[in-house]
């Protein structure tokens, strides 16, 4: 088992990465069990596949467990849905000692984490991610959030879990598009922090997408988690270094918003956003043409869907609402080289529009 530590003083926590970890969870979580109410928050399909069995395993090990479900998709991240969860928790007589288990992908983690951050002014929660995207990204670092009609994750909190339990066996049930979405984020880590890792992923993407090598997959997940853990440990609240994790996200989030959230998977949108960011990096002279082409060709190893028709001006308007715009200035992540990212305030609206045209 790989164990990666997120170092945040008295709020530090482990990330466990191990195939088959779901079966070991009762033992791993015993150190957090003090007779309190545990609540698994998940989605209906996952409740049937994994949640009910996990609840029974925990009960057999002296946990008091209940299970709640939220709808699939971004509609679950509405404030009205969060209010319903608060009411469910109160109905179950949950209190400040209650612990939440977030069993699911990024939507479940975002919603369950936000509920944990705000219910009774904060209760414990543990992330059990079931998608690759959640395993390597959204479950780590404490970012929680829900959506407003104007944009994604505009209401939220940075609230760290007590642990993250990653079982790569969950990936066996995922459709290819979900794997592609996750590997876009895995490539992001190489692009911003580890050149050798990026090139290794490019050489083995076909094997990884087919889940054809368990050890290679576990190592790729663990390396991604380690990169994110190191960045979060150095800059928990995104005052500096952590901003590089937003590589591809400024345009990616805007594409998700303008296409209605249900057209593109998150990682697909981020892949398109990274292509735009790489293009701008080349145009502004941060990287050369050879580096840009190498980066672009590696991203295109992902079988991305055809992007629906977009209006660049509408996407640009959405970008102005992005959380990375501060005092009217956009903080945009570019590449100085593959493996090294930098935050720039020099990206103009014309640069963004030109990049959107390549999509």
165/184 same-domain check = no
Domain finish residue from 173, 202, 232 = 173
128/183 same-domain check = no
Which domain CATH number covers 46? 3.40.50.1970
Q: How far apart are CA 70 and CA 87, in angstroms?
A: 13
Cα radius of gyration (the chain): 20
Which domain CATH number covers 347? 1.20.1090.10
Residue span of the structural domain in which 152 resides: 2-173
Q: Which of 249, 256, 265, 268 is the catalytic position?
A: 249
166/62 same-domain check = yes
pLDDT in tens, 115-142: 999 999 999 999 999 999 999 999 999 9
User: Which token pair is 93?
Assistant: 């007589």
142/224 same-domain check = no
Q: Tell me if residue 185 is catalytic.
A: yes
Q: What is the CB neighbour count within 10 angstroms for residue 295? A: 25
Q: Tell me if residue 242 is catalytic.
A: yes
Q: Tell me if residue 169 is catalytic.
A: no
pLDDT in tens, 223-276: 999 999 999 999 998 778 999 999 999 999 899 889 887 789 999 999 999 999
Q: How far apart are CA 8 and CA 162, in angstroms?
A: 11
Q: Tell me if residue 296 is catalytic.
A: no
Q: Which residues of the chain have pLDDT under 50?
A: none
215/78 same-domain check = no
Q: Tell me if residue 56 is catalytic.
A: no
Q: Tell me if residue 143 is catalytic.
A: yes
Burial 150-174 (b: 16+ CB within 10 A, else e): ebbbeebebbbbbbbbbbbebbeeb
Domain finish residue from 154, 173, 192 = 173
85/191 same-domain check = no
Given this model, what pLDDT does residue 76 score? 92
141/282 same-domain check = no
Given this model, what pLDDT does residue 323 score? 54
The contacts of residue 240 (CB under 8 Å, 6+ apart) are none
Q: Which of 228, 243, 265, 282 is the catalytic position?
A: 228
3-state SS, residue 78: coil
Q: Which of 74, 178, 236, 238 is the catalytic position?
A: 238
Q: Tell me if residue 249 is catalytic.
A: yes
Given this model, what pLDDT does residue 153 score? 84
Going 327 to 332 to 333 to 337, the CA torsion angle's sign is negative
59/147 same-domain check = yes
Q: How far apart are CA 23 and CA 342, in angstroms?
A: 41
Q: Tell me if residue 266 is catalytic.
A: yes
Given this model, what pLDDT does residue 263 score? 87
125/42 same-domain check = yes
Q: Which of 34, 91, 93, 121 is the catalytic position?
A: 121
Total number of domains constituting the chain: 2
Given this model, what pLDDT does residue 327 score? 52
Q: Which of 185, 236, 256, 268 is the catalytic position?
A: 185
Give, in order, the Cα–Cα distances in Å from 127 to each of 39, 136, 143, 218, 246. 12, 12, 12, 18, 21
112/151 same-domain check = yes
293/190 same-domain check = yes
**pTM of the complete model beyond 0.95:** no
Domain finish residue from 120, 138, 173 = 173
């Amino acid at each position: 088992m790989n164990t990666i530590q997120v170092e945040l003083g008295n709020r530090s926590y482990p990330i466990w990465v191990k195939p088959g970890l779901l079966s070991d969870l009762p033992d791993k979580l015993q150190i957090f069990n003090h007779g309190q109410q545990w609540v698994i928050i998940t989605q209906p399909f996952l409740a049937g596949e994994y949640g009910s069995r996990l609840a029974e395993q925990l009960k057999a090990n002296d946990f008091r467990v209940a299970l709640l479900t939220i709808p699939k998709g971004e509609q679950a991240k509405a404030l009205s849905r969060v209010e319903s969860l608060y009411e469910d928790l109160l109905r179950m007589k949950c209190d400040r000692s209650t612990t939440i288990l977030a069993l699911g992908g990024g939507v479940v983690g975002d919603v369950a984490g936000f509920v944990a951050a705000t219910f009774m002014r904060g209760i414990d929660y543990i992330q059990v991610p079931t998608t690759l995207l959640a395993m390597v990204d959204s479950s780590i670092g404490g970012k929680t959030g829900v959506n407003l009609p104007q944009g994604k994750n505009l209401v939220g909190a940075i609230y760290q879990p007590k642990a993250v339990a990653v079982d790569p066996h969950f990936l066996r049930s995922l459709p290819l598009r979900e794997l592609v979405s996750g590997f876009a984020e895995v490539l992001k880590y190489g692009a911003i922090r580890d050149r050798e890792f990026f090139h290794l992923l490019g050489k083995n993407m076909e094997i990884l997408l087919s889940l054809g090598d368990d050890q290679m997959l576990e190592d790729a997940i663990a390396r991604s988690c380690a990169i994110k853990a190191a960045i979060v440990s150095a800059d928990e609240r995104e005052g500096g270094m952590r901003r590089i994790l937003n590589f591809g996200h400024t345009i990616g989030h805007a594409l998700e918003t303008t296409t209605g959230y249900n057209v593109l998977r998150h990682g697909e949108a981020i892949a398109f956003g990274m292509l735009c960011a790489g293009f701008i990096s080349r145009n502004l002279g941060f990287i050369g043409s050879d580096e840009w082409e190498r980066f672009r060709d590696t991203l295109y190893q992902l079988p991305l869907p055809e992007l629906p028709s977009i209006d660049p001006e509408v996407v640009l308007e959405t970008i102005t609402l992005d959380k990375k715009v501060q005092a009217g200035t956009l903080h945009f992540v570019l590449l100085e080289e593959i493996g090294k990212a930098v935050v720039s305030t020099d990206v103009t609206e014309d640069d963004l529009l030109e990049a959107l045209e390549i999509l």
